[in-house]
Chains A and B, each alone.
Chain A
Amino acid sequence: MEIVAQHLQDQAITRVAAADKDAFGRSSFNRYYYAAFIEARNMMSKLRVEWVRLPHKQIPTVLRESVGQDLKHAQRKAVRLEDKATVQACAAAITASKGLADLLETSFATRVVADYRLETMVLFVNHDYTLNAVPISVARHWPSKARGFSSSILQGWRQAGV
């Protein structure tokens, strides 16, 4: 999915016709969102099997509430055991849960604009472009960031033994 998004991004930059640039540009935002979402959903299904069915919009809430609380609870146990490595792993996982929740919300909102708000045009400035004030130079890191945050959450979660 990420390579598809990169291809669409290249097309948006190299095409000449304005309508083509807009179409490829907005689709690239959509695909970067999906690539990030898939990373997050894979990770969530490893935390709890039933979380594979969570609707897109509920994942940020679950990350901020259930996942964050369980990690904090485990972190307190690790403090009592003087298990510094787990305290750190939980701290990184807690930060990652918030980071991933924010990322999913921002990218989801951008995806709604890309797919349904056709009157909001993609704006091109040299080799960069933005949709609803979100630059593609930020969006293109969504999948990789989602992968990084997910990996931290999973590592913290395993050590926590929740």
Chain B
Amino acid sequence: MSDYSTALRALFAEARVAITGDIVLDDESNDVYVQTPLTVGSDGVKSPSRTQLLGLKAAAEVLGLRLHVLLVSGLHEEFESLLRATLFLAFPDVLRNVFCSLGVRTALVWVEPKQDLSTELRKAIERAARKFCEVQGFSFEGLVTVGDANTPNKLAILSTLREIAPTNVEKLSEALIAKDFVIPSQDWLARRLDTYRRAKNLVFNANKTYALTIQSFRQLGTTKRGSTSPDVTRLLALWKEYR
């Protein structure tokens, strides 16, 4: 056994953190990967704790190693394969894969459908996933469908309007499509904008253009972080318009 491995094993033993499998050192660097079993007690306390892990990382750094601890959760693997089997059985030929992210007592579920899901089918899958999680004692955080149609939400619509305001539905629609959003129809967008107008997020001018209200500017805020700053993107948009 090589020196780094012996030294690391001693550190882990001292911290009372178990190791699964061999320690892996990447030859091209000083990155070292250690697998350790993760357990969550009935009180919701994780072992190893964050403090233990940070301590190990610092101790490894003294040895000149960049430590990556890979937490292996038997509970997660078991939960996931049961959930997958349950949903595959309930919805045959609909799903390509099912997996989840577990928090201490929370579960977020991902499904990859074989084709687009109807609203009813999606709801049925969501109910089944929720029920499974709750029976297992996890609170259900939601269902994420891989490859959902990507229509813009409020934040995206208002941020885009901010860049090119005052503007009309057609131009705003084009700007959103350029950002890879799907706009079902201009009528759909116009109805969205009307909802935001009633919430006092924007104004509709007599010449059929829209602009943000001061309330929206405050809620959106600003940053001075280079190309992601809304002030910079606004200036760039103006330059494109008037150059």
A-to-B contact residues, CB < 8 Å: 57, 70, 73-74, 77-78, 80-83, 85-86, 88-89, 91-92, 95-96, 98-99, 102, 105-106, 108-109, 112-113, 116-117, 120, 132-134, 137-138, 141, 144-145, 147-149, 151-152, 155, 158-162
A147, chain B: closest CB distance, angstroms: 7
Q: Are B156 and A113 in contact (CB under 8 A)?
A: no
Which B residues touch A83, using CB under 8 A?
A: 153-155
Q: Are A113 and B24 in contact (CB under 8 A)?
A: yes
Q: Are A159 and B110 in contact (CB under 8 A)?
A: no
Which B residues touch A80, using CB under 8 A?
A: 219-221
Q: Are A57 and B156 in contact (CB under 8 A)?
A: no
A130, chain B: closest CB distance, angstroms: 9
Question: Which stretch in B41-49, B53-61, B116-124, B140-148 binds the other chain?
Answer: B140-148
- Kindly list the 7 A-B residue pairs having the minimum CB-CB distance in the complex, ordered from nearest: A133-B21, A109-B33, A83-B154, A80-B219, A132-B21, A144-B97, A85-B153
CA distance A85 to B157 in the complex (A): 12
Which A residues touch B156, using CB under 8 A?
A: 86, 158-161
B167 lies within 8 A of chain A by Cβ: no
B-to-A contact residues, CB < 8 Å: 20-22, 24, 26-27, 29, 31, 33, 35, 68, 70-72, 77, 81, 96-97, 99, 101, 108, 110, 112, 141-142, 144, 146-148, 150, 152-156, 158-160, 179-181, 201, 216, 219-221, 223, 228
- B201 touches which one: A81, A85, A96 (CB < 8 A)? A81
Which B residues touch A151, using CB under 8 A?
A: 146-147
Q: Are B220 and A81 in contact (CB under 8 A)?
A: yes
A-B contact count (CB 8 A): 123
Which A residues touch B142, using CB under 8 A?
A: 88, 92
B87, chain A: closest CB distance, angstroms: 14
With A85-B153, A161-B159 known to touch, is A144 a contact of B112 (CB < 8 Å)? yes
Which B residues touch A82, using CB under 8 A?
A: 154
Please report whether the interface of chain A is mostly helix, strand, loop or mixed according to DSSP.
helix
Q: Are A77 and B155 in contact (CB under 8 A)?
A: yes
With A77-B220, A81-B219, A161-B160 known to touch, is A144 a contact of B96 (CB < 8 Å)? yes
